[in-house]
Amino acid sequence: MTSEPHPALKLDETTHQRVRLGILAVLSETTECAFAVLRDQLDLTDGNLSRHLRVLEDAGLVESRKTFEDRRPRTWLKLTRQGRKALREQVETMEKLVARLRVGDE
């Protein structure tokens, strides 16, 4: 055992939640994504996606932009620089956790 804190303690509450991690992952694959596309990719309801997006926007990890196309509102989403950094840090933490678990299995 090391004196370093267990990697599980470093998982971020905001980004580690399954849906929010999925949102960050999908948005990291593109410059900008339509709300409906993100909703369909993650198989969420409008309300559920909206609630999670609000948490991520409040944390400064995601930005939204509203437009109109053929008189219909459309919401576009993208990761902020801070959001990309948070996702990268979360993945690094999960990789450390997985590495530690693999060592325990040997």
**What is the per-residue pLDDT across 28-68, written as a single tens digit (0 to 9) for each?**
999 999 999 999 999 999 999 999 999 999 999 999 999 99
Task: Tell me: pLDDT of 105 over 80.
Answer: no
Percent of the chain having pLDDT more than 90?
A: 77
- Give the Cα separation of 18 and 65 in Å (integer): 24
Can you tell me whether residue 86 is helix, strand or coil? helix
SS3 content of the chain, % helix, strand, coil (to 5): 60, 15, 20
Order of strands, edge to edge, in the sheet holding 62-69? 33-34, 72-79, 62-69
Sorting pLDDT into bands at 50, 70 and 90, what band is 93? Answer: very high
Can you tell me whether residue 52 is helix, strand or coil? helix
Sorting pLDDT into bands at 50, 70 and 90, what band is 103? Answer: confident
Kindly indicate whether the domain formed by 11-105 is annotated with CATH number 1.10.10.10: yes
